[in-house]
Amino acid sequence: MTDREIFICRCEEVTLSEIEQAIDEGFVTVNDVKRRTRAGMGLCQGRTCGKRIAQIISKKTGIPLETLLSGTTRSPVRTEKMEIFKGEQDV
Amino acid sequence: MGKYEVVIVGAGPAGLSAAIEAASSGCKVLIIDENSKPGGQLFKQIHKFFGSKEHRAGIRGINIGKQLLEEAERLQIEVWLDSEVCGIFDQHKIWVVKNKKKTILLEADRIILATGATENAVSFPGWHLPGVMGAGAAQTMINIHRVLPGTKVLMIGSGNVGIIVSYQLLQAGADVVAVVEGSPRLGGYGVHTAKIRRAGVPFYVSHTVAAAEGNGKVERAKIVQIDSSWKPVPGTEKELEVDTICIAAGLSPLTELAYLAGCEFTYTPVLGGHVPWHNSRMQTSLEHLYIAGDISGVEEASTAMEEGRMAGLQAAASLGYMNDGEKQEKEQEIQARLDDLRSGFFGEKRMNAKNIIFAAGGKQK
Amino acid sequence: MYRIKHHPILGDLDDKKEDLVTIYVDGTPLPVRKGEMIAAALMAHGIRVFRKTIKHKNPRGIFCGIGRCTDCVMTVNGIPNVRTCVTPVEDGMRVETQEGSGKWGDSHG
């Protein structure tokens, strides 16, 4: 395995070269790279790779890390089963 | 809808300290944690803490955890375990999934987020192989579950986490084959580093891991020397026979809930990256929302506990549980301890970074 | 051999029969410590491969150990994608190596 074929997103098995290609095509935020490559769309929802992808974008484009958030956060912020939504809710 | 004066997310050192401070002032407090036991990462810390006596120095992390739990119990603080906070809405509403089963909406006058931090990853060829793991994962395995993650371990990173976990791996009976550090200097406290050195563990500075290799699991690691621009130096590759590779590449604050709540953020590389802006009283850009511990910038359990006390104190004071005189007195005591903890070579850097955050200003000034 | 029986600070581990329960890993019964996480129980028995990935069928095991990375998911009592590092063992639990996104078994619910 070469350096460029390493997985950055472990869940969706998206490689460094796929991410760099997306950046070359003009996808230069973590969210845009995610939409282009599926990096961050797997089971863990970008919890492991988000920061790495921000670093790769910054290194390749010179965009300061300061301005690159690791992607949009939505609730639920934890992994929950759909079945918790069934039945009566205590609200 | 359940109503509380103060809801604290996270029952680690910061959250427990915040709860103790707020409850002892008279607040009705609820503390929520996703794990099945309170204490956060304290129960993994089987080493003695630094600092002065007021910071419980010389006491092992596990025992500090026990002390905090006893205090919380004495104050009859309500604790929900196995319960995950999934969101914050309309400023004061907190969505909780209790006991992994029931979804509940709570209302809180004051919220304190003490959610801690998460380990950073470094990626290299083969880092997906079973046997490559976070140093924190290895520490949980050995000190909580009493299981060796492997017998021959390579540690990546010589900061405090890398060094302390290396030492604890040795204590647990593993062989630490080497510690690899990318920068030319070792990063951790000298006391711990010296202990590992005495045990005969080789340190490779200006080195990085080039690859993890093996058939379906880690069987060896390749390390390589790097130059000042972090490029591999040809001909310096070494092969190490290991079954485990631990990554200790620093931590990032766990800020999801602060983001959802709408806090303003600021960027501070020394403290782990993006953190919710906060003042020295641990108040964020949202008047009713406080933070404490690693979420406000990665430091140590000792500072996390003091920040927790500060947040708990401020929350209680803002609800009218003490007069200005009492508040100022306590505030000064906590601040003095924090200043003390943020002195010395490592501490000063953190102190400066914190001061930059405080000075940056947000809506609350 | 991966269980830490003696420890200079934590002391000795002396599990009695009543401290143990049995789980079935891909059909094989294994004695494990009551209340420990599935991932720890498997590691104690030297099991490191917990699943194979969807795309490349790569083996995966424990990575973050705190329920965030989802690398350690397995099919537990017929339910796929269970995070084994934060799910405690129960007596009689069936734990299966997960292929890809897993299959719902008939033993769940």
- Residue range C4-63, pLDDT digits in tens: 999 999 999 988 999 999 999 999 999 999 999 999 999 999 999 999 999 999 999 999
For residue A8, give both structure tokens: 């950055």
Decide if A63 touches C, using CB distance below 8 A: no
Residue range A13-71, pLDDT digits in tens: 999 999 999 999 999 999 999 999 999 999 999 999 999 999 999 999 999 999 998 88
Cβ pair B217, B127 in contact under 8 A: no
The residue in chain C having the minimum alpha-carbon distance to the alpha carbon of residue A48 is C69
Residue range B278-336, pLDDT digits in tens: 999 999 999 999 999 999 999 999 999 999 999 999 999 999 999 999 999 999 999 99
Per-residue pLDDT band for B365 (boundaries 50, 70, 90) equals very low
Residue A5, burial from CB neighbour count under 10 angstroms (0-12, 13-18, 19+): exposed
Closest C-alpha among B289, B291, B261, B278 to residue B362:
B278
β-strands B207-213, B102-113: how paired? unpaired
Element at B106 (helix H, strand E): strand B102-113
More confident call, A89 vs C88: C88
Structure confidence at residue B277 (pLDDT): 96
Decide if C62 touches B, using CB distance below 8 A: yes
Give B173's contacts in chain C (Cβ within 8 Å).
4, 6
Contacts of B306 (CB under 8 A, 6+ apart): B17, B55, B334, B337, B338, B341
- Counting Cα atoms < 13 Å in the Cβ hemisphere of A34 gives 20
Distance from CA of C7 to the nearest CA of B (A): 6
The residue in chain C having the minimum alpha-carbon distance to the alpha carbon of residue A42 is C70
Alpha helical stretches, state H, chain A: 16-24, 30-37, 50-61
Query: Is a pLDDT exceeding 60 seen at residue A8?
Result: yes
Distance from CA of C62 to the nearest CA of B (A): 7
Q: Compute the count of residue pairs across chains A and C with CB atoms less than 8 Å apart.
A: 29
Query: Is a pLDDT exceeding 70 seen at residue B143?
Result: yes
Say yes or no for a CB contact (<8 Å) between C68 and A44.
yes
Q: What is the pTM of this model?
A: 0.95
Is ipTM > 0.85 here?
yes
Q: DSSP assignment, residue B144?
A: I
Give A12's contacts in chain C (Cβ within 8 Å).
55
The Cα A38–Cα A40 span in angstroms is 6
Give A48's contacts in chain C (Cβ within 8 Å).
63-64, 68-69
Say yes or no for a CB contact (<8 Å) between B269 and A65.
yes
Distances in whole angstroms, Cα of residue B227 to Cα of each of B97, B197, B224: 49, 24, 10
Candidates A70, A77, A79, A86: best to mutate against C (most CBs of C within 10 A) is A79
Residue range B45-94, pLDDT digits in tens: 988 887 666 667 788 989 999 999 999 999 999 999 999 999 999 999 99
